[in-house]
Amino acid sequence: MEARKTKTVSENDYSSIAQSPSFQALLSEKKKFIIPVTIFFFCFYFALPILTSYSTVLNHKFIGSITWAWVFAFLQFIMTWGLCMLYSKKAAKFDELANQVVEERGIS
Amino acid sequence: MNTPAFIMFLGIVFVTLIITYYASKKTKNASEFYTAGGGLTGWQNGLAIAGDYMSAASFLGIAGAVALTGFDGFFYSIGFLVAYLVVLYLVAEPLRNLGKYTFADMIASRFDAKKVRGFAAMNTVTISIFYMIAQLVGAGALIKLLLGLSYTTSVLIVGVLMTVYVIFGGMHATSWVQIIKAVLLMGGTLVISIIVFSKFNWSITDMFAQMKTATPLKESFLNPGVKYKIGLDTISLNMGLVLGTAGLPHILVRFFTVKDAKTARSSVVYATWVIGIFYVMTIFLGFGAAAFVGNSSIVAANPAGNMAAPLLAKALGGDMLFAFISAVAFATILAVVAGLVLTAASAFAHDFYNEILRKGKATEKQQVSMARWAAIGVSVISIILALGAQSLNVAFLVSLAFAVAASANLPVIIYTIYWRRFNTTGAVWAMVVGLISAIGLVAIGPSVISPEAGKAIFVGNPIFPYTTPGILSIPLGFLAGYLGTLFSSQKADVKKYEEVLVKSNTGIGLANNR
């Protein structure tokens, strides 16, 4: 059994939390991280089908018979794992900021 | 009849029924039934997500697609994986913080309107049934090939098993069947990959060099453009793949089986590792099948290439490995269809019955009983549709489900979490337009209307030129949500949005499942 959130929070409380400096700080930290990274991974991802569809640059050889298309495809995996780890690390900081918001309000 | 395969199939049926028996003892109330009480750990749910996600389309479909079309088949692997970044960065944590049992709960946390919940539930049932037909068609073909049973009998066996898991074991049984399946699938794929790699002298460069001559495609096997020759068609496919996962109801409900957003996050990270490693290995499955089974044998067994992985196992390890990999494929399908039945039944019982018809006042007992009846109903409908869909291509049905999920669900999810002005009209427009445009574009596209007789349902020139609808239907879903919001006379409920914002970012007021 985990702790229940016993104290009820009214509509006005949510407004005041939303406008509090600590919550605004959490939001802006998240935005600063999530928006640019999201734009990056969409660009990186769609670059592959766009390049394979409209050019042949990726058909050039990398090593032996391995072409750049396969290298780029593999880099998508590396990017996904890398950004997963990066998110986990950043999220630990967001958790701290979120805890501050919760503690300020005295909600258990 | 293949005796080792038959014994291993029975083994899987036996183990999963034991799990269901133990799970049934825990499944006493609605929360246990829908979400296993929210008590799964990060790694358990991570494996269950992997087990829920890596479907027949992934294992049988991608192996075959890579074997037959080389690089173009691998697009699926990449898109299915990168999609988890969308889930992790944009959807998973807010979803966990706002919802309780279903994806509709999350939308309803902001818009307490029956029609919003009703449309969200309708999308869930529609997407899940499309996805399920694909799995059942795959299962029917597989069992028919292995055990010599008729297609109808095969579909019925899988249909009965999935119904039994869900009505007796609910989310507990579904989760553990998915976890065990994920372990089996990873193990089986790893064994094949290692044998394939050894046959290429443990050298990646040797492997690629040999692939240049191993298939009828020769050198072009390694280059993009074998299957997807129209640029916008390729991009449309990729849009559906990368944006669909975050809108798939059976994946979204998995986040309610953990206690908080932090655990939801760690389960996505575990799932992404497992799923990523699996999709890397699809290269070995596909290349191995192309090199050691051969194009003509793969096509002879199934024109879409769906039997490439089991045939590869046979070529590498004889009847025993063949039986094992086929049993793994069977477990794969069972785990996925169980998740789909549960998701569709939850949407019906929780959203339609309890929240809309009974205004949230049904007792625990009534809710669980309705969910069980709904599970039977969903199974029966899917089985009937699957029996009529034998000749449809499995990968086509799955990519349709992804495109519908991306078009009908993702816009409303993103707007609900991130757009202050969004309102109920916008939510309804986004869901309806997304759903209708995705299905409509497929209906007038080349998968349904083809100039070549026998390739599709109708003969003629397709009105919409691309095989997947995503490139048009996903923007339409977003646009409809935007326009619906602007054209509506409702004012944005700023207070409600602030509540959603606080809840989704801090977990305050988290609907606790216990």
Would an 8 Å CB–CB cutoff place B75 in contact with chain A? yes
| Separation between Cα atoms, residue A60 and residue B329, nearest integer Å | 36
For residue range B228-249, what is the model confidence (pLDDT) as tens digits?
Answer: 888 899 999 999 999 999 999 9
Tens of pLDDT along B194-207? 999 999 999 999 89
The count of structural domains within chain A is: 1
- Of B507, B262, B419, whose CA–CA distance to A23 is shortest? B507
- Provide mean pLDDT across the span B393-402: 76
pLDDT of residue B476: 97
Specify whether the CB–CB gap between B33 and B371 falls below 8 A: yes
CB contacts of A7 in chain B (<8 Å) are: none
pLDDT in tens, B125-169: 999 998 998 889 888 878 887 788 888 999 999 999 999 999 999
Q: Which of A107, A5, A11, A48 is nearest to B225 (CA)?
A: A48
**Would you say residue B416 has pLDDT above 50?**
yes
CB proximity A92 to B under 8 Å: no
Q: Is the dihedral of CA B178, A45, B242, A54 positive or negative?
A: negative
Q: Which residue of B has its CA nearest to A27?
A: B505
Residue of A nearest to B496 (CA): A11
| A30 assigned to some structural domain | yes
User: What would the pLDDT profile of A31-45 be if each residue is shown by its tens digit?
Assistant: 999 999 999 999 999
pTM above 0.90, yes or no: yes
Instruction: Select the residue of A45, A65, A101 nearest B242 (Cβ to Cβ).
Output: A45
In a domain, A83, yes or no: yes
For residue A95, tell me if it sits in a domain.
Answer: yes
A2 pLDDT band, cuts 50/70/90, is very low
CA angle B139, B145, B146 (to 5 degrees): 90
Per-residue confidence at B450, pLDDT binned at 50, 70, 90?
Answer: confident
Reported as a single tens digit per residue, the pLDDT across B293-335 is 999 999 888 888 888 999 999 999 988 898 898 889 889 999 9
The C-alpha R_g of chain A, in whole angstroms, comes to 22
pLDDT beyond 80 at A53: yes
pLDDT at B493: 84
CB atoms within 10 A of CB A3: 7
Query: Which pLDDT score, from 0 to 100, does residue B303 have?
Result: 81
Asked whether residue A6 carries a pLDDT value surpassing 60, the answer given is no
Residues 6+ apart with CB under 8 A from B397: B130, B131, B133, B134, B137, B389
Average pLDDT over residues B7-16: 92
As a whole number of angstroms, the distance between CA B127 and CA B104 comes to 14
- A13–chain B nearest CA distance, Å: 9
Is there a domain that residue A6 lies in?
A: no
Does A10 reside within a domain? Answer: no
CA distance, residue A44 to nearest chain B CA (Å): 10
Instruction: Evaluate whether residue A99 is within a structural domain.
Output: yes
Residue B43 has pLDDT above 60, yes or no: yes
**Residue-averaged pLDDT of chain B:** 90
Diameter of chain A measured on Cα atoms: 66
* Residue A49 belongs to some domain of the structure: yes
Interface pTM (ipTM) of the complex? 0.92
Q: Token pair for residue A41?
A: 């991974």
CA atoms of B447 and B307, how far apart (whole Å): 21
With contact defined as beta carbons under 8 Å apart, do B37 and B353 qualify? no
Look over chain A and give the mean of its residue pLDDT values, rounded to a whole number: 87
Q: What residues make up the domain containing A75?
A: 22-105
Domain membership of residue A32 (yes or no) is yes
Q: Residue A67: list chain B partners with CB under 8 A.
A: 222-223
| The pair of three-digit structure tokens given for residue B36, joined into one six-digit string | 């296993």
